[in-house]
Amino acid sequence: MASSPLRVFFLWHFHQPWYAPFDGGPAPLPWVRLHALKDYAALPALFAANPRVPHAANLVPGLLDQIEMLTNGGSDAFLEIAKTPVPQWDAGARRYALENFFSVNDRVLSRFPRYADLKMRADAGEAFSEADFRDLVVLFHLAWSSPELHKDPLLVRLRKRGHAFTEEDKTSLLDRQTAALSDVIPAWRAAFASGNVEASTSPYHHPILPLLADSGVARQSLPDAPLPSPRFAHPEDARSQIALGLSTFERHFGFRPKGMWPPEGALSETALALLGEAGASWVATDEALLFQSPPVSKRSFGEGDRARTLFRPWSLPGVNSPAIFFRDRVLSDRIGFSYASWDAGDAAADFVARLLSIRAAAPEAELAVPVILDGENAWETYPGNGEPFLNALAAALENRDDIRVVTPSQALAEIPPTPLEGFVAGSWVNGTLATWIGSPAKNRAWTLLGAARDSLAGLVAAAPVVAPAEVLAGRAGAAASVKAALFAAEASDWFWWFGDDHTSAHDPVFDELFRRHLAAAYRAAGRLVPVALLEPVDPAHGPAFEEPLRALWPAIDGMDDGAETGWEGAGRAAVRPQGTMHRGAGLVKEMLFGASASGDPLFIRLEPADATGPAGLAGLTLRVELLVAGAPEPAAFEALIAPGIADVNGARIALGKALEVRLPLGVPHTGALVFRARLLDAMGRVAEAFPADGWLRFTPPGPASSAMSILRARTGPTS
């Protein structure tokens, strides 16, 4: 009997976490905007160019809403800097640009000679002119533009010139990109309407469903995993995230998809039941979850047995389970991580050859091979943002009789699911849930989330489920705002970046956003924000500093250079700007700190940045906060900064060549002192903070003492 054609389907997944803070201001990271410009609108056009090769695309609802917010005037910290005329940039904006506007894959950067030259100069520490910074902004945004956008006459002209861009050029490019954002969701709407692209979606904030339902299931695949106590167990949150995801997708596209991608392919029996309850007809995950589930895990496989087992849908009886597709990891990872360095035709030929080897292993079986991967991050390593490879792959597949490209729903209609006898919870990362739970930092995050969820349980239970955009627009009540902020903190992404298994240049920002979402939930409920949310979840994301080497007692006159007698051996913390124009002023380059031998008083010296000098600090307010054990809020001291020496509420503050402070604490202390300093402008906004996030913690040298009472008689107003 002749073999039937081998079915194969492609599922591309797109998501970003919720970046927009509930306490106001632009999103601190630009990845929704930049990936929308480079990737999200590019694939529908490629799919339309190859109508004989269908695809499936999974769009996470929280991503869709953030794209919509950007089209309606939303912003991010990168864009705020970019839109500001370079002559108006202060030292903080310049540092911010150097630290962030080279955030481009090296292969992409190398396509722009001037950009590559700027990178070499920045790495060498060379000074940049205004023209250099303007070119940097324009080239960064050209690099984050799709091949289709590069066909626009404006971008053609800018890329041809390659350098010496004007403010008008910069503004025109940013305006053109803003206009392009409004095309993203309509492009997908047209793709779904064509019938050539099947839609699927995910729970709204892309949470790890098994862990929301019961964090204890992590031990199914890792029996010895250390887990947080008490366990997090809120299946009602998982159910609400699914429901909000489906309703949001329907609002954008007018229908509910048949399939759902469980975030990170993470599934458990409870998660399957919840997805089935919500009406999903199919879900997808990684092959590892099939091969570790009973009794499949006990089988001995040849290639034929493996193909007959893996390349068919399955279901879990008794829980209203949707059909489950298990992806082929090799083929998926070849597209995601290998083929970028190949000739496009050779890569397509290799892909087809691997499909034919699967067909040959089980020629009599009805098989469907799922190829599932991230739809955004892979393409920046490909020539032409992946367009030559995808076109070559389509050409290699579209006219074959032995291979048929289908959608997941078509595959399910032709191959009925096989019952599984059991299911071991896991994800598409090594078949376990260890990427999101089990390490000290990840567990601490679950503990903070659980504490907030339990503390605010009454409000959450009674609140309607609303999207974050409703809260930010002022259209949600207090209880709904609490629930929205908590749900944003349940996203998978925050837990991904805790611990040392994954890292990025923006780890501290992810850490801070997780805590800001939780803090917003407490504030919406009218509750005090727990002190634990003021420090980074992961100690690795805290400030880098040198502890004091000895006790201090410097003269507070602001006149020495910081290296003279009195400040020798002080602790040192370099200052980094916080990322927006009004919070990254670049006023201070270093903070010195320490304490006397008894631990009282605390000494602080702020060294002005060369560009601003001491005059840049005058007129600001210095606020020093200390964490006090058992107190609901930090103790605080505030003083207006003025030239000369002044005694304020028992403290001495002096502004000369530097700003120096002697701050009595109340009693001697040699336990850990935990403090931070901030400079506030006339409106009470933070102009600069030391450290930018979290607190400085050090133990003063000297004899032991009793518990302290910090600033009991000297606390200023708290916020």
Which tens digits make up the pLDDT trace of 557-589? 988 765 556 898 898 887 654 433 333 346 888
Condensed to tens digits (0 to 9), the pLDDT of residues 641-700 reads 999 999 998 899 999 999 999 999 876 665 778 898 999 888 787 778 888 777 888 888
Instruction: Give the C-alpha separation, 436 to 17, whole Å.
Output: 15
Q: DSSP per residue over 305-373, as a string? A: HHHHHHSS-EE-TTTTPPEEEEE-HHHHHIIIIIGGGS-HHHHHHHHHHHHHHHHHHSTTS--EEEEEE
% of the chain at pLDDT higher than 70: 93
**Amino acid letter for position 172:** S
Classified as helix, coil or strand, 267 is strand
User: 411 with 325: CB under 8 angstroms?
Assistant: yes
Mean pLDDT of 28-48: 93
- Can you give the three-state secondary structure of 514-550, one letter per residue? HHHHHHHHHHHCCCCCCHHHHCCCCHHHCCCCECCCC
Mean pLDDT of 138-162: 96
User: 32 with 16: CB under 8 angstroms?
Assistant: yes
Instruction: Give how far the C-alpha of residue 428 lies from the chain's centroid of Cα atoms, to the nearest Å.
Output: 19
Q: What angle do CA 544, 545, 550 make, to 5 degrees?
A: 160
Q: For residue 201, give Cα distances in angstroms to 429, 473, 483.
A: 20, 24, 21
Quick check: 390 pLDDT over 80? yes
Average pLDDT taken over every residue of the chain: 90
Find the DSSP H helices in 568-611.
none
**Amino acid letter for position 543:** P
**Amino acid letter for position 209:** L
| 172 φ/ψ angles, rounded to the nearest 5 degrees | -65, -40
Q: What angle do CA 42, 13, 220 make, to 5 degrees?
A: 165
| Own/partner long-range contacts of 355-358 (Cβ < 8 Å, ≥24 apart) | 355/6, 355/8, 355/331, 355/403, 356/6, 356/402, 356/403, 357/303, 358/6, 358/307, 358/311, 358/328
User: 130 with 87: CB under 8 angstroms?
Assistant: yes
Q: In the prediction, which pLDDT does 379 show? A: 85
Under the banding of pLDDT at 50, 70 and 90, the label for residue 531 is: confident
Condensed to tens digits (0 to 9), the pLDDT of residues 459-479 reads 999 999 999 999 999 999 999
> CA dihedral in degrees (41, 46, 52, 56; nearest 10)?
-40
Cis peptide upstream of residue 257 (ω within 30 degrees of 0): no
Q: In the prediction, which pLDDT does 632 show? A: 66
**Amino acid letter for position 136:** L
Classified as helix, coil or strand, 234 is coil
Under the banding of pLDDT at 50, 70 and 90, the label for residue 254 is: very high
Under the banding of pLDDT at 50, 70 and 90, the label for residue 717 is: very low
Instruction: Give the C-alpha separation, 657 to 457, whole Å.
Output: 52
Quick check: 360 pLDDT over 70? yes
Buried b (16+ CB within 10 A) or exposed e, 560-579: bebeeebbeebbbbebbbbb
> CA dihedral in degrees (162, 168, 171, 175; nearest 10)?
-90
Quick check: 56 pLDDT over 50? yes
Instruction: Give the C-alpha separation, 213 to 348, whole Å.
Output: 41
Instruction: Give the C-alpha separation, 227 to 46, whole Å.
Output: 44
Residues in contact with 45: Cβ distance below 8 Å, sequence separation at least 6, in sequence order: 148, 187
Instruction: Give the C-alpha separation, 444 to 437, whole Å.
Output: 9
**Amino acid letter for position 318:** G
User: 201 with 261: CB under 8 angstroms?
Assistant: yes
Under the banding of pLDDT at 50, 70 and 90, the label for residue 711 is: very low
Instruction: Give the C-alpha separation, 365 to 345, whole Å.
Output: 29
Quick check: 599 pLDDT over 70? yes
Condensed to tens digits (0 to 9), the pLDDT of residues 4-26 reads 899 999 999 999 999 999 998 89
Q: 279 or 376, which is more confident?
A: 279
Residues in contact with 278: Cβ distance below 8 Å, sequence separation at least 6, in sequence order: 239, 242, 243, 246, 260
Look at residues 169, 22, 151 and name the one whose alpha carbon lies nearest to residue 86.
Answer: 169
pTM confidence score? 0.87
Q: Where are any strands of DSSP class E within 498-640?
A: 571-574, 588-595, 602-608, 621-626, 635-640
